[in-house]
Amino acid sequence: MIKLSPSLLAADFSNLERDIKIVENAGADYLHLDVMDGHFVPNISFGIPVIESIRKISSLVFDTHLMISDPMKYVKPFADAGADIITFHYESDARQKEIIDKIHSVGKKAGISIKPNTPAFVLEPYMDVIDLILIMTVEPGFGGQKFITDTLNSIRYARQLIDRSGREIDLEVDGGIGAENIGIPVSAGADTIVAGSAVFKSADIADSVKKLKRYGV
């Protein structure tokens, strides 16, 4: 069965507790938290105060995606705020192994993400230490974009790396995924799906979660 990680970026920010409770009760596995700094990506979203606040009302795994410059500096603050998985971008810092070690040192799972144009072979040196790989299937920074089909090659390559490693590593994909095309990345090897607009912008949030989860049954 696939894991579903609804992206909070698409939720109603005037009713965050309501929306979070809906996806939690509907069977979501993770809650995807897109943190943007306006520097690494051309948008600003939310940060530590929001995560601290919603941690009090949810027991979901907080799947925290740092689309920021200098992620090393913020590992502990986000861990303290309640993140369970901390994913940083390969492209954001040259100290990838040190950042992974830092995340583990504060007791959290470590994820590494690549943009659509970054070749998946750059992930190979981290297969013995990483807990999650996130393949961006749109350019990071904004929700509601169209799935980039060329990223399927990266998903397939990452799946091969994971299978060869023999380790339990989530292969997550994020961007432009809904009920109409979820089968495409899953068939390529993805097992964890981020969905924002397809969940929170739908007429029935709970039903959308269940439909997306049902694909993996």
The one catalytic residue in 34, 37, 63, 170 is 34
Query: In this structure, how many other beta carbons lie within 10 angstroms of the beta carbon of residue 217?
Result: 6
The SS3 assignment for 168 reads coil
Residue 156 phi, psi (nearest 5): -65, -40
The SS3 assignment for 108 reads coil
Q: How far apart are CA 162 and CA 158, in angstroms?
A: 6
The answer to whether residue 34 is catalytic is: yes
- Cβ-contact 66, 89 below 8 angstroms: yes
Q: Where are the beta strands (DSSP E) in the chain?
A: 3-6, 30-36, 61-67, 85-89, 109-114, 132-136, 170-174, 192-195
The answer to whether residue 174 is catalytic is: yes
The one catalytic residue in 29, 63, 131, 174 is 174
- Which residues carry out catalysis? 34, 174
